[in-house]
Chain A
Amino acid sequence: MTQRPDYAGQDQSTLFRGNDTSIALKDVKSVRGTPAKQMPAFVLGEELADLAETDDRIVVATADLANSSRTRDFASRHPGRFIDFGIAERNMITAAAGMASCGLIPYVATFASFCGILGAEAIRTDCAYPRMPVRIIGHHSGISMGFYGTSHHSLEDIGMMRTIADLTVVCAADANQLRAILRASVDHPGAMYIRLGRGRDPEVYSEVPADFVFGKATKLRDGRDLTIIATGSEVHASLGAAAALEAEGWSVRVLDMHTIKPLDVEAILSAAAETGAILTVEEHNVLGGLGGAVAEVIAGEFSIPFRRHGIADQYSLIGPPAALYTHYGLDAPGVTKMAREMLARFN
């Protein structure tokens, strides 16, 4: 293989440019008290780089967001297998499919709004349909981009992605689960959409879950009166709600439905039969996402109280993320309120 010559300032290519750390991340130890190593934003590049140590097939690409996705951490360790496509997301996703057809396993990362929404056709036509093992990582999903506004929000991506056949759709609740997802994804057949939150998601799993399996929901808490089925960023809030409701005398089951597709139908039917009420919680439009998927399962099977909690088919206000989560009831108090109303009404 010919080595790339040094173009001495003319060549801005990042492909095979070498170990360019001049714009690498600052070594952030913690953000607002949360250790960096516990936050998804800080483990993505590192975990992929670790996996690539023993797997030549893994390549990573981004669309001018190497810092935001922390894929720069991969680039610094595997410069020959990192490609920055510039601000051209469709090209990145389709090119990744071309790479996958040659035996590589590409992980391509950008904002969820610019892959799960902007790149939807490339994901369907070039990745899922030919069953190429491309892993599309949509980070900063939902309303986590806060004041950047609707162009950068992604409240439709789960709905769009889950209508694509042969595409695995999975949401990471925290850093440890993200590591588990990435490890399990390497040899998983076909294309995959991996949805990440803001990157500062608080810890749900104290260690990398050893029992992680795509399509198998994780029961984080058992209960009798209601099941909260949550995904991604809302798993932590839902656990907080269940704890608050326990203090009020309610027994609430919490399922982490990390895999939206294929959906764990069995876990949903068991929840319906055993707890008699279901609340879904997601940082997504209430149409077409996790709530829609669960509704499709229980419709015709059970006549039970059922609510979908998320964003009510509208565009989000502008604001800091934390303020938005409170406004839309997507924090623990908001989920608690929604669940309490259901419990009070139907019990």
Chain B
Amino acid sequence: MTSYTRPAHGRNVSEEFLADRAKFIRLETLRLTRIAGAGHYSSTFSAAELFAALYYAHLRFDPGNPKWPDRDRFLLSKGHAAIGLYPVLADLGFYDPALLDSFTRLGSAFGDHPDMKKIPGIDFSSGSLGHGLSVALGMAVAGRIQNRSYRTYCMLGDGELNEGQIWEAAMAAGHFKLRGLVAIVDRNQLSIDGPTEKVMSVEPIHGKFEAFGWDVKRIDGHDFGAILEALDELAPAGEGKPQMIVADTIKGRGVKHMELSLDWHVGNLVGEDFDDAWNEISAGLKPYVREDA
């Protein structure tokens, strides 16, 4: 395992390395799903490139000192994707990767949603959708009060934008001009009951947040070049517009039959389902082609 100390924003890592880590995230998600007998794999597959870019190329942290006061904060507001974050934190040296073998077992620190009191590197517990942006807002306010330069990153689900508290936090962040607050929307297009635009439409996300006083960029959330460019362009913490990256992604990305399919949100993968997914991910990400194309 490689241990990293990240004193500053932005590291020189190759896109090949990041693609390998995204593959690692997807394979570990499959492995942990099998241990638990269930897991939110498809919501994690959509965020794999974002996780890899944030943790291996961008965020400021120190695995040997998880509570380092000047670290960047990362809030996984869509807490159900924790199954993809746990292996990253283990890989970076926050804890022994062998601990993940107990994933979801009785008394395990590692459940479907992350617990800050049990897991080093988790900056705040999550699970109830709609809370994370408020938590991140508070952390950004604390950074301003304490005169610290860290940024607070909050990964939101697109369906999560249905929650009213998101808009309370969005309004406050714009009002307080918290440039150190960075929201990343995993725009993977589906919530449980269907496409977001049929269940409860969230678009235009960028227009809504811009109206709330945010600076919004929209990128391909599976393209490392685009992700890294967007992260590199983030302004430092300070007074100004809070920043949002809307990452257009594909739920279930990496396993053809899961991509944008409502049939693969949460559950167990056994037998051929597991083997097919494992083999397809191992072979590497192929260009996305729509079913009807």
Contact = CB atoms under 8 A, between A and B. Distances in A.
Interface residues on B, range: 35 or more
Contacts of B117: 130-131
A90 B115 CA distance: 20
A213 to B, nearest CB: 26
Interface stretch (B21-29, B82-90, B137-145): B137-145
Contacts of B125: 125-126, 129-130
Interface string B120-151: 00011101100100111111111111110000
Interface stretch (B172-180, B186-194, B264-272): B172-180
Given A13-B177, A129-B125, A94 B135 contact: yes
Given A102-B143, A131-B117, A95 B69 contact: no
A13 B176 contact: yes
A88 B123 contact: no
Interface in A74-89: 80-81, 83, 85-86, 88
A59 to B, nearest CB: 7
A2 B168 contact: no
A1 B147 contact: yes
B162 interface: no
B99 interface: no
Contact of A125 (B127, B146, B169, B238): B127
B131 A94 contact: yes
A269 interface: no
A95 B169 contact: yes
B205 to A, nearest CB: 19
B171 A86 contact: yes
Interface string A118-141: 000110011001110000000000
Contact of B145 (A59, A86, A96, A97): A59
Contact of A104 (B135, B145, B164, B172): B145
B144 A103 contact: no
A102 B146 contact: yes
B265 to A, nearest CB: 22
A34 interface: no
Given A98-B138, A122-B131, A125-B128, A91 B143 contact: no
B134 A90 contact: yes
Given A16-B144, A103-B142, A103-B146, A130 B116 contact: yes
Contacts of A90: 134, 164-165, 168
Q: Is the interface of B mostly helix, strand, loop or mixed?
A: helix
Contacts of A5: 239
A102 B138 CA distance: 9
A101 interface: yes
A101 B116 contact: yes
B184 to A, nearest CB: 17
Contacts, number: 108
Interface in A37-95: 59, 80-81, 83, 85-86, 88, 90-91, 94-95
Contacts of A343: none
Nearest to A11: B177
A98 B165 contact: no
A86 B116 contact: no
B238 to A, nearest CB: 6
Interface residues of A, number: 36
A6 B68 CA distance: 33
Given A83-B141, A91-B169, A101 B131 contact: no
Nearest to A98: B138
Q: Which of B115, B136, B144 has the most CB of A within 10 A?
A: B144
A182 B137 CA distance: 25
B139 A102 contact: yes
Contact of A126 (B115, B123, B131): B131
A112 B177 CA distance: 29
A100 B239 CA distance: 21
A59 B146 CA distance: 11
Contact of B165 (A16, A94, A101): A94
Contacts of B171: 86, 88
Given A4-B239, A91-B165, A130-B125, A98 B136 contact: yes
B15 to A, nearest CB: 33
Contacts of A94: 131, 134-135, 138, 165, 169
Q: Tell me which of B141, B169, B172, B177 has the highest count of chain A C-beta atoms within 10 A of its own C-beta.
A: B141
A81 B124 CA distance: 22
Contacts of A59: 145
Contacts of B137: 91, 95, 98
A1 B172 contact: no
9 contacts: A15-B141, A16-B144, A81-B145, A90-B168, A98-B137, A102-B138, A102-B146, A126-B134, A131-B117
Given A97-B135, A101-B124, A130-B117, 10 more contacts: A2-B239, A13-B177, A15-B141, A88-B171, A90-B164, A90-B165, A91-B134, A91-B168, A94-B138, A102-B69
Interface of B: 69, 115-117, 123-125, 127-128, 131, 134-147, 164-165, 168-169, 171-172, 175-177, 238-239
Interface of A: 1-2, 4-5, 12-13, 15-16, 59, 80-81, 83, 85-86, 88, 90-91, 94-104, 106, 121-122, 125-126, 129-131
| Nearest 4 A/B pairs, CB to CB | A98-B138, A95-B138, A102-B142, A94-B134
